[in-house]
């Protein structure tokens, strides 16, 4: 016992030896905690059906070990009785490394967690098109917390910086209120998801086209004339938007209304219309095209041909082809399309 006691006395009397002992002890403690942490939580996550907790545990493995190790290093530096400037610098460096370590781990956990939630069918808030938005917002929040703690680790008073940032934020908010409005409108559009990139959209002004890109400030459309339109998100958020690609699929129903003369065989006219619709390659065979007798109008019988097309962008050429076919077939089948006439009788 006496040799061991002498060793302890020598270590106590030497700050350097005491510091080295704390370093070695920190390595042992960190390794033990890592083993216990991994063993206990590994058994827990193995009992769950999802792989999310396994990935998170794998990411936490190294940070937990290094954090305990760095705490031991900080304590060892204080015991070593180094010069104040050296001690302050070394402790600040170790604290900064620890914060940056947890910064990157937190971002990875954020990404895999949000991706996992976005794949769940019950999640209507986190979707494919809103995922990048929330991931970026989460990264910004984590980054701000990391900067705050780094300032604290170097004993930097951030009250003045926060006060200046608050005043600057008010000034920038007033100067760029339209940009701020578009930014928040972009967030709400991505969260609400009235449309997504690639959807075929009808604007209030009458333009129709694809959503090319959704940004935080504006949204870009590509019209059928290959003209790109950029609209601020604040304008879109307050407008009525018809999403022709919405619903369970992109297919949509087209209606073509016209009249036939009184006295025409209406069943024969219906059969002709359905056959010519089925002959068009852009018209879907299911649901089957149909004809509706809508009303008795002033000049004839008002019919309506209804059929489905696969893509909204084919509406224009399909309607053109069907109308042309109707005109030609009606002329061939002697089906008259009435129009207003005026007879002028001159007295003899």
- Residue 235, domain CATH: 2.30.30.60
Collapsed DSSP state (helix, strand, coil) of residue 192: helix
CA-based Rg of the chain, rounded to a whole angstrom?
37
The better pLDDT of the pair 172, 235 is held by 235
262 within domain boundaries = yes
Distance CA 233, CA 246 (A): 19
- Secondary-structure breakdown of the chain: helix, strand, coil percentages, each rounded to the nearest 5: 60, 15, 30
Lowest mean pLDDT among 36-45, 142-151, 248-257: 36-45
205 within domain boundaries = yes
Distance CA 291, CA 255 (A): 10
340 within domain boundaries = no
345 within domain boundaries = no
Share above pLDDT 70 across residues of the chain, in percent, rounded to a whole number:
85
The better pLDDT of the pair 78, 282 is held by 282
Residue 255's alpha-carbon distances to 305, 327, 333, in angstroms, are: 6, 16, 22
- My answer on whether 202 and 142 are in the same domain is no
Please name the residues in contact with 324: beta carbons below 8 A apart, sequence gap of 6 or more.
none
Would you give the DSSP letter of residue 283?
B
Which residues form the domain of 145? 2-168
Q: Which pLDDT belongs to residue 73?
A: 84
- My answer on whether 86 and 162 are in the same domain is yes
Buried b (16+ CB within 10 A) or exposed e, 28-67: eebeeebeebbeebeeebeeeeeeebebbbeebbeebbbb
- My answer on whether 260 and 164 are in the same domain is no
Q: In what order do the strands lie in the sheet with 252-260?
A: 252-260, 301-309, 290-296
Confidence tier at 178 by pLDDT (50, 70, 90): confident
Answer whether residue 125 shows pLDDT above 60.
no
Identify which of 214, 145, 143 has the alpha carbon closest to the alpha carbon of residue 183: 214
The better pLDDT of the pair 266, 176 is held by 266
The better pLDDT of the pair 303, 22 is held by 303
Instruction: Specify the pairing of strand 228-232 against strand 218-223.
Output: antiparallel
pTM value > 0.85: no
pLDDT digits (tens, 9 = 90+) for 226-246: 888 888 888 888 888 888 877
Give the number of C-alpha atoms closer than 13 A to the C-alpha of residue 1, restricted to the C-beta side. Answer: 0
Lowest mean pLDDT among 12-16, 82-86, 108-112, 153-157: 12-16
Distance CA 110, CA 124 (A): 18
- Residue 283, domain CATH: 3.30.70.100
Collapsed DSSP state (helix, strand, coil) of residue 255: strand
- My answer on whether 134 and 27 are in the same domain is yes
175 within domain boundaries = no
- My answer on whether 82 and 204 are in the same domain is no
- My answer on whether 80 and 24 are in the same domain is yes
Average pLDDT over residues 305-325: 91
On whether the CB atoms of residues 212 and 222 are closer than 8 A, the answer is yes
Q: Classify residue 107 by burial, with Cβ atoms within 10 Å: 0-12, 13-18, 19+.
A: middle
Find the helix or strand (DSSP H, E) in which 87 lies. Answer: helix 84-118
On whether the CB atoms of residues 231 and 219 are closer than 8 A, the answer is yes
Find the helix or strand (DSSP H, E) in which 221 lies. Answer: strand 218-223
The total number of structural domains in the chain stands at 3
């Amino acid at each position: 016992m006496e040799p061991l006691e002498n060793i302890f006395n020598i270590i106590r009397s030497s700050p350097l030896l005491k510091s080295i002992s704390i370093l070695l002890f920190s390595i042992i403690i960190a390794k033990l905690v890592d083993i216990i942490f991994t063993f206990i939580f590994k058994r827990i996550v193995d009992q769950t059906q999802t792989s999310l907790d396994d990935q998170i545990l794998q990411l936490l493995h190294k940070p937990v070990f290094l954090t305990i190790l760095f705490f031991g290093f900080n304590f060892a530096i204080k015991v070593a009785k180094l010069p104040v400037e050296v001690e302050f610098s070394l402790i600040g460096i170790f604290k900064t490394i620890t914060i940056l370590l947890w910064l990157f781990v937190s971002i990875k956990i954020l990404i895999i967690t949000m991706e996992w939630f976005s794949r769940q069918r019950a999640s209507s808030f986190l979707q494919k098109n809103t995922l990048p938005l929330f991931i970026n917002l989460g990264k910004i929040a984590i980054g701000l917390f990391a900067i705050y703690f780094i300032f604290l680790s170097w004993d930097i008073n951030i009250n003045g910086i926060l006060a200046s940032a608050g005043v600057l934020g008010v000034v920038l908010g007033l100067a760029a209120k339209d940009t701020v409005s578009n930014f928040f409108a972009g967030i709400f559009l991505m969260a609400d998801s009235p449309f997504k990139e690639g959807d075929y959209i009808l604007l209030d002004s009458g333009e129709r086209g694809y959503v090319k890109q959704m940004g935080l400030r504006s949204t870009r459309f590509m019209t059928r004339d290959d003209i790109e339109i950029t609209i601020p998100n604040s304008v879109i958020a307050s407008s009525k938007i018809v999403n022709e690609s919405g619903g369970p699929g992109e297919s949509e129903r087209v209606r073509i209304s016209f009249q036939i003369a009184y006295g025409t065989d209406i069943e024969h006219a219906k059969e002709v219309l359905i056959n010519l619709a089925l002959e068009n390659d852009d018209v879907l065979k299911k649901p089957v095209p149909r004809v509706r007798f809508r009303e008795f109008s002033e000049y004839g019988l008002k019919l309506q041909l209804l059929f489905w097309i696969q893509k909204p962008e084919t509406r224009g050429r399909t309607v053109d082809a069907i109308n042309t076919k109707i005109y030609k077939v009606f002329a061939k089948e002697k089906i008259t399309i009435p129009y207003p006439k005026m007879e002028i009788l001159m007295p003899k």
